[in-house]
Amino acid sequence: MEANKGILLESGTNELEIVEFGIGKNKFGINVIKVKEIINPVPITVVPHSHANVEGIIELRGEVLPVVNVADALGFPPSATPEQDKFIVAEFNQQKVVFHVHTVTQIHRISWSQIEKPSDMYQGLESQIIGVIKLNSEMLLLLDFEKIVVEINPESGINIQQVKKLGSRQNSDKRILIAEDSPLLRKLLFDTLSEAGFKYLEFYENGLDAIGYLESLVESGKAVTEEVQVVITDIEMPQMDGHHLTRRIKENSELSVLPVIIFSSLITDSLRHKGQMVGADAQISKPEIAELVKLIDRFVL
């Protein structure tokens, strides 16, 4: 089954498509944009001393890809019917990974506004979830696949050493607004951008909160460019995604002067046009934090 990329032609509509999959009796979702294809299981070559959640490797059309057992990663028991399991071939953070799941059922088209941020009250799984989707009296959990992969391979995450290699830098009084829903990434961005000399960092957990703040500046009559010099946004966020946020900024005559940098695991050659369609000034793939710092320099110096 090839994932259908053509349904959402327009960018910035605050909609997405979710592939629903099952682990045991639980239902989860992955953004269609991340999915290259869904295949039946193929023989896996076990790699000695690999991470406990990595089953091994497979060859797919000449590429050698790691297979992550999602049930293991979530602490769930193995499949009761392994012959019916599925492999989701995904691409993000400039890498391809195969996720071994128990079932793949259907694709849902929804709005980011239907996705609720997980509550701090949840125990256990909360750290692996980036959103909760209510669908027909059922709940779908949107998994944080980047976090699952970074826990297996920390080298694939944001690396503060990249920024240190840029050398000693002047402290900057430029004000940066950052929309990022992952607490882990907010901390990493705070640490790395602080290391790079940026002292004034304003974080928002989603695009809705960020645009609310920016529009309140306009309504208050303040000079927007004195309060914010550059906006950095993720794409996947509950309530309002980064493409829609960018579009709202660029369509507002008072806000459109702000440079918007999209910093996301979803920046690939085939998806870059989505950011261009909504007017993003630049797009950088996670985890290239040093490139992000250089871009900020270009826009704010």
| CATH fourth-level superfamily of 158-300 | Response regulator (3.40.50.2300)
- Model pLDDT for residues 184-203, shown as the tens digit of each residue: 788 888 988 888 888 899 99
Residue in this structure with the two tokens 């509950």, named with its chain if needed:
238
Q: Which 3 state secondary structure label does DSSP give 246?
A: helix
Contact 286, 180 (CB under 8 A): no
- Model pLDDT for residues 130-147, shown as the tens digit of each residue: 889 988 888 899 988 888
Instruction: Looking at the structure, give the CATH architecture of the domain made up of residues 15-154.
Output: Beta Barrel (2.40)
Q: How far apart are CA 204 and CA 141, in angstroms?
A: 22
What is the domain partition of the chain in residue ranges? 15-154, 158-300
Contact 166, 191 (CB under 8 A): no
pLDDT tops 90 at residue 8 = no
- Model pLDDT for residues 81-108, shown as the tens digit of each residue: 998 999 999 998 888 999 999 999 999 9
Give the mean model confidence (pLDDT) for residues 61-73.
94
Nearest to 159 by CA among 108, 93, 208: 93
